[in-house]
Amino acid sequence: MSAAAPAGAADATTAERRFPPVAEAGVAALGLIVIGGIYMASYAPRRAPLVLPVILAVASAVLVLADLVVLSRTKDFAWDKFFLVGRWTLLSYVIAAGLIEFAFVKDHTRGGPLVVITAMLVLFAVIVPLIISFTVARYNSGGPDTA
Amino acid sequence: MTDTTAEVLSNGAALGHGPPAGAPGRPVIQIVPLKGLPVVAVILAFLAASIGFNWQWGLDFNHVAGGALWTGIDLFVGLVVGPILGRLSIPARAEFSARFMPKMVLLMPTLVAMTLASGFQLALDLGNLKATSPNHAWLVASFIVVGVMATIALGVLEPANLAVLFEMRKPRPNGEVIAKLMKRFIYTAGITGVMQVGTLIIMTRVASR
């Protein structure tokens, strides 16, 4: 965003600027976690087969990592807004994920299923703040396209 | 930029062009109403205690009260407020959103947490999750409905909600950005509102058996 830009011009640039599909990939990663969670919950209180949830969690983690790599290479991005929103939303979703984890531990989920659920909850607690903080920051960023 | 961006907020600030000289300042938008945080903390502590101690009344209260409010608000916002909002001028939408959305930022995640956490615990306690239970298939259907709603709400609606609030805090809010994000909010609220009808059907079926 140029300091010399005329009134309104910088905002127009912000609205029209194209960003990498970080939010879209984040929603896809969230969807994979949700499918895995539904699959495991549908087996409760029995032990669910873990192959499908593990595949979904790994695929989701790969999407999140790809998201973070692409995002780290984005130029002229409002990182201050990204981290401002990110740290508070991360706090709130860590609390939410902790509450869900507590419920599973309380219900005697142990071993492999608990590990998979914990991994899914960690991803959940990262993905949602990532989508929210990216969406806020992108409308506070100006300048040229990403690298 | 569309011509709507030149429309003037009812309190005097021009969208995308800064407040005119001498105009009264816009109220500062508090994105998260801090006064509501202690209430949320008390509710979450009550929820955790209900789950931790398997407190039947607490679980019922959290699930029924949280679910009724969540469903009711989703239906009302999605099918009544949303279409009205879509027909308002951009400044009117912006002014409504500045007062409405901060409350939703605290209210909806709290209601969702109350309903889902207590609901899962109740389903386990009542045996409704067992494969032999006649309610099992209905509960799995409810997981799918909730899963789709959660993905839409957390991945699309809530980010748009917060981005609108941040945009409106700017000295010169961009009307085009607000309109784009509000459209996203209105559509997704409509979708989750319609999906709540599915939740009502499923839950009343489960309760009738």
Can you give the residue ranges of every domain in chain A?
21-138
CB–CB of B195/B149 below 8 Å? yes
Does any domain span residue B4? no
Average pLDDT of chain B, as a whole number: 83
pLDDT for B12 beyond 80: no
Does any domain span residue B26? no
Looking at chain B, the whole-number percentage of residues with pLDDT higher than 70 is: 87
Please answer yes or no on whether B174 and A139 come within 8 Å at the CB atom: yes
pLDDT at A14: 60
DSSP states of chain B: --GGGGPBPTTSPBTTTBPPTTPPPPPPP-SS-GGGHHHHHHHHHHHHHHHHTT-HHHHHHHHHHHHHHHHHHHHHIIIIIHHHHHHS-HHHHHHHHHHHHHHHHHHHHHHHHHHHHHHHHHHHHHTTTSTTSTTHHHHHHHHHHHHHHHHHIIIIIHHHHHHHHHHHHSSS--HHHHHHHHHHHHHHHHHHHHHHHHHHHHHHHHHH-
Does any domain span residue B139? yes
pLDDT at B11: 39
Overall domain count for chain B: 1
Please answer yes or no on whether B32 and A38 come within 8 Å at the CB atom: no
Does any domain span residue B21? no
pLDDT at B9: 39
Taking the C-alpha atoms of residue A38 and residue A48, their distance in angstroms, rounded to an integer, is 11
pLDDT at B2: 36
Please answer yes or no on whether A132 and B162 come within 8 Å at the CB atom: yes
Please answer yes or no on whether B109 and A15 come within 8 Å at the CB atom: no
CB–CB of B119/B125 below 8 Å? no
pLDDT for B81 beyond 60: yes
Please answer yes or no on whether A92 and B117 come within 8 Å at the CB atom: no
pLDDT in tens, chain A (147 residues): 333 444 444 555 566 678 999 999 999 999 999 999 999 988 888 888 999 999 999 999 999 999 999 999 998 899 999 999 999 999 989 998 998 888 888 888 888 999 999 999 999 999 999 999 999 999 988 654 433
**pLDDT digit string (tens) for B148-172?**
999 999 999 999 989 988 988 888 8
Tell whether A126 is within 8 A of chain B (Cβ): no
The residue segments making up the domain with residue B63 are 31-208
Query: A131 to chain B: which residues are within 8 Å by CB?
Result: 154-155, 159
Residues of B in CB contact (< 8 Å) with A are 1, 5, 16-18, 32, 44, 47-48, 51-52, 109, 113, 117, 120-121, 124, 129-131, 139-140, 143-144, 147-148, 150-151, 154-156, 158-160, 162-163, 166-167, 172, 174, 176-177, 180-181
Nearest CA in chain A to B138: A42
Q: Which of residues 50-69 of A touch B (CB under 8 A)?
A: none
Query: B160 to chain A: which residues are within 8 Å by CB?
Result: 135
